[in-house]
């Protein structure tokens, strides 16, 4: 029963490792996890019989026990008591209770060598906090419905790609890779346009979604692609904090290339077996921690460097894709380029939307399925995407008919209206974008004035609704 637990997590550690426990407790608390960490409980523990109280605590009072395993932990009397209490509890339940984090390689009695451990040097307080949140959610779900074996899918990169396949798989099957690539380039371009002054999550989700869909058409697993390319390391210098600017994209010390590949592979495996949730937020944090200099450059020189790199990577996806489709390149070449584009997009998200979770934004964006047709399996027609930055001439043709009607309703203004009709006709015929912008602006201004002039007159009831319709159509034809 979750109600009987006072804490979500109790941390068991040796005094020598207090700095780690403290950092972890702070991260867990920041993530809303109720933590037992003895420093926070001094007043509560004061004067109590610590032996029986702590035994009680580590056996009965928390849903999970995080154990910080180190040489000190193995040798101290005190943590040994805590460990025994925790192990007694672990033995009494089938689900995992002890969540071990290794600070070094020391063996601890009673902890099987096959038990999955996280490693402190490969984690941060916040990555561990997310893993704990996931554990708590899973536990909560299984308690709410004891028959339910499957836990609601956690937001991973893979589940993002799969949910897009569900929504768009059928539509995308009918599309050529080039068409999809066109959308990737288009949405990535609009992202760089909208990035200043303030991009929205949607600006990022669109290119990421096309990227994931392209990955699906060629059979690339986006999650695998990302962690193979960026296993918390830079693919060029293989450092966890990139030093490429000093070494010109090489490791700081000589290492044979094949060993570099082995090292990257080992890092990737550590992620796979590390019980971390490989979500888009995880990927975003990876990139931010490998390349802190990106943010510095952005703040000093503006976003242009970042977006010229993104544009370059987007171009390289096309090159790799063409190579792959003609049999000259293998899938891993495409996967690497796809991972690079994802890295630059997430890097920009980290800098411009620092407080926003990528996973949460994506979940709410696709909550109803396709956000345009609102179906769980999209039925939108290809090439029917709504205009975002240019204008839609068909909507303008429609508005032209309304203007003819308005001219009849307001004969006194017919010559003014005729001018507007002429300008709109030129725009529709030439589809000239600068001219369209000016025309739309002029039409809107003039109609606004006409509306003011008619209000209160006997023409109001017939003409104002038409004016409003036209104004709405102008709005609709440009940037929805």
**260/277 with CB nearer Zn ion:** 260
Q: Residue 363 CB, nearest distance to Zn ion (Å)?
A: 18
Q: Residue 268 CB, nearest distance to Zn ion (Å)?
A: 16
Q: Which residues pair with 36 in a beta bridge?
A: 10
**380/460 with CB nearer Zn ion:** 380
Q: Residue 367 CB, nearest distance to Zn ion (Å)?
A: 14
Round to whole Å and give the CA distance between 299 and 336: 28
Q: Are 68 and 101 in contact (CB under 8 A)?
A: yes
**380/453 with CB nearer Zn ion:** 380
**DSSP state, 10?**
E
Of the candidates 99, 378, 406, 410, which one interacts with Zn ion according to CB under 5 A? Answer: 378
**385/448 with CB nearer Zn ion:** 385
Q: Residue 228 CB, nearest distance to Zn ion (Å)?
A: 16
Site string for Zn ion, 285-314 (x = CB under 5 A): ------------------------------
Site string for Zn ion, 194-213 (x = CB under 5 A): --------------------
Q: Residue 164 CB, nearest distance to Zn ion (Å)?
A: 12
Closest CA relative to residue 30, chosen from 121, 129, 108? 129
Sign of CA dihedral 207, 209, 212, 214: negative
Burial class (CB in 10 A: 0-12, 13-18, 19+), 145: exposed
Q: Residue 290 CB, nearest distance to Zn ion (Å)?
A: 7
236 binds Zn ion (CB under 5 A): yes
Q: Residue 291 CB, nearest distance to Zn ion (Å)?
A: 8
Strand stretches in 90-143, DSSP E: 98-102, 118-119
Phi, psi for residue 444 in degrees, rounded to 5: -65, -40
Residue span binding Zn ion (CB under 5 A) among the ranges 26-34, 236-244, 353-361, 403-411 = 236-244
**52/384 with CB nearer Zn ion:** 384
State which of positions 117-156 bind Zn ion (CB under 5 A): none
Round to whole Å and give the CA distance between 461 and 68: 76
- The reply to whether omega before 48 is within 30° of 0 (cis) is no
Q: Which helix (H) or strand (E) holds 62?
A: strand 62-69
Q: Are 214 and 184 in contact (CB under 8 A)?
A: yes
Number of residues that bind Zn ion (CB under 5 A): 10
**2/385 with CB nearer Zn ion:** 385
Of the candidates 218, 380, 460, 476, which one interacts with Zn ion according to CB under 5 A? Answer: 380
Q: Are 274 and 122 in contact (CB under 8 A)?
A: yes
Residue span binding Zn ion (CB under 5 A) among the ranges 45-53, 60-68, 69-77, 238-246 = 238-246
CA distances from 326 to 180, 185, 230, 338 (A): 17, 21, 27, 18
**370/428 with CB nearer Zn ion:** 370
Site string for Zn ion, 241-280 (x = CB under 5 A): -x-x------------------------------------
Of the candidates 67, 234, 276, 424, which one interacts with Zn ion according to CB under 5 A? Answer: 234
State which of positions 338-377 bind Zn ion (CB under 5 A): 370, 372-373
Q: Are strands 35-36 and 7-12 parallel, antiparallel or unpaired?
A: parallel
Alpha helices, H only, 174-256:
177-194, 201-218, 222-229, 244-247
Distance linking the first and last C-alpha atoms of the chain: 49
Q: Which residues pair with 7 in a beta bridge?
A: 62
Contact residues toward Zn ion (CB under 5 A) are 234, 236-237, 242, 244, 370, 372-373, 378, 380
């Amino acid at each position: 029963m979750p109600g009987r637990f006072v804490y979500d997590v109790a941390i068991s550690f040796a005094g020598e490792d207090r700095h780690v426990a403290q950092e972890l407790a702070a991260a867990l608390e920041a993530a809303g996890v109720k933590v037992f960490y003895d420093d926070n409980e001094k007043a509560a523990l004061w004067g109590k019989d610590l032996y029986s109280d702590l035994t009680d605590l580590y056996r009965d009072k928390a849903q999970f026990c995080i154990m910080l395993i180190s040489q000190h932990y193995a040798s101290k009397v005190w943590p040994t008591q805590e460990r025994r209490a925790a192990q007694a509890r672990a033995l009494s339940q089938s689900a995992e209770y002890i969540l071990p984090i290794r600070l070094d390689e020391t063996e601890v009695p009673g902890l099987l060598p096959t038990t999955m451990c996280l490693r402190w040097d490969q984690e941060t307080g916040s990555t561990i906090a997310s893993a704990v949140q996931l554990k708590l959610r899973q536990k909560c779900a299984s308690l709410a419905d004891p028959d339910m074996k499957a836990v609601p899918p956690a937001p991973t990169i893979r589940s993002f790609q799969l949910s897009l396949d569900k929504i768009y798989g059928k539509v995308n099957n009918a599309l050529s890779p080039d068409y999809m690539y066109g959308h990737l380039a288009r949405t990535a371009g609009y992202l760089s346009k909208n990035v200043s002054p303030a991009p929205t999550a949607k600006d990022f989700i669109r290119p990421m979604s096309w990227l994931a869909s392209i990955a699906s058409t060629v059979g690339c697993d986006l999650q695998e692609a990302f962690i193979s390319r960026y296993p918390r390391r830079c693919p060029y210098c293989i450092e966890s904090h990139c030093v490429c600017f000093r070494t010109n994209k090489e490791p700081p010390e000589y290492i044979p290339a094949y060993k570099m590949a082995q090292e990257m592979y080992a890092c990737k495996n550590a992620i796979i077996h590390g019980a971390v949730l490989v979500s888009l937020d995880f990927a975003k944090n990876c990139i931010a921690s490998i390349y802190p200099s990106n943010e510095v450059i952005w703040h000093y020189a503006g976003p242009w460097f970042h977006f010229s790199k993104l544009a370059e990577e987007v171009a390289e996806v096309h090159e790799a894709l063409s190579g792959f489709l003609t049999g000259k390149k293998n899938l891993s070449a495409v996967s690497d380029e796809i991972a690079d584009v994802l890295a630059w997009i997430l890097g920009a998200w980290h800098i411009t939307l620092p407080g926003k979770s990528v996973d949460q934004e994506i979940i709410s964006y696709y909550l109803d399925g396709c956000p345009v047709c609102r179906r769980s399996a999209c039925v939108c027609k290809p090439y029917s995407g709504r205009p975002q930055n240019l204008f839609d001439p068909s909507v303008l043709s429609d508005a032209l008919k309304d203007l003819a009607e308005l001219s009849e309703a307001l004969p006194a203004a017919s010559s003014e209206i005729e001018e507007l009709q002429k300008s709109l006709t030129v725009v529709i015929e030439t589809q000239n974008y600068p001219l369209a912008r000016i025309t739309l602006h002029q039409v809107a201004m003039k109609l606004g004035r006409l509306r003011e002039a008619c209000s209160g007159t006997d023409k109001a009831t017939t003409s104002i609704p038409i004016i409003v319709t036209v104004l709405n159509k102008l709005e609709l034809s440009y940037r929805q």
